[in-house]
Amino acid sequence: MHALIHEKLSEAIIGAAMKVLNTLKPGLDEKLYENALVIELTRCGHRVEQQKSFPVHYEGQLIGTLVPDLIVDDLVIVDPKVTSAFNDTHVAQMTGYLVITNLQLALLLNFKFSRLTWKRIVRTEQPDPK
């Protein structure tokens, strides 16, 4: 059995999300959970970049920017959601984000219900060396 990528950091992020949900309760807008998560993760000593821009190129030309919700400790993309269930579109979006950011792990966090649900999306190919 293989070790999980960024296991301790994932646990810290999920724990912080549980605390946020238990405090705020379900039913709010995604942005409110995102902002609270930034506060909680920062309070726990993590570096959180909110709405960091990444250039997107096609055939060597800049075509726009990608703006993930959160990047934690330069290692994990975190995308808070308020949805009935994660779907293939959510997973595909995070897979694309991982390629463009050159990161290996994204966490989808669902704040819709009283129990937090999450999904880990792992980039299987190795990131490009920087």
- Residue pLDDT tens, the chain, 130 long: 567 899 999 999 999 999 999 999 999 999 999 999 999 999 999 999 999 999 999 999 999 999 999 999 999 999 999 999 999 999 999 999 999 999 999 999 999 999 999 999 999 876 565 5
24 found inside a domain: yes
The pLDDT of residue 127? 57
Q: Is 115 inside any structural domain?
A: yes
Residue range(s) defining the domain that contains residue 41: 7-122
Tell me the CA distances in angstroms from 29 to 32, 35, 56, 97, 111, one per residue in order.
6, 10, 28, 22, 9
Q: In this structure, what CATH number is given to the domain that contains residue 15?
A: 3.90.320.10
Asked if residue 103 is part of any domain, the answer here is yes
Tell me which amino acid residue 90 is: H
Is 129 within the bounds of a domain? Answer: no
Reported in sequence order, the residue ranges of 1-130 that DSSP labels E, i.e. its strands, are 48-50, 54-58, 61-66, 70-72, 76-81, 105-110, 117-122
H or E segment and range at residue 74: none
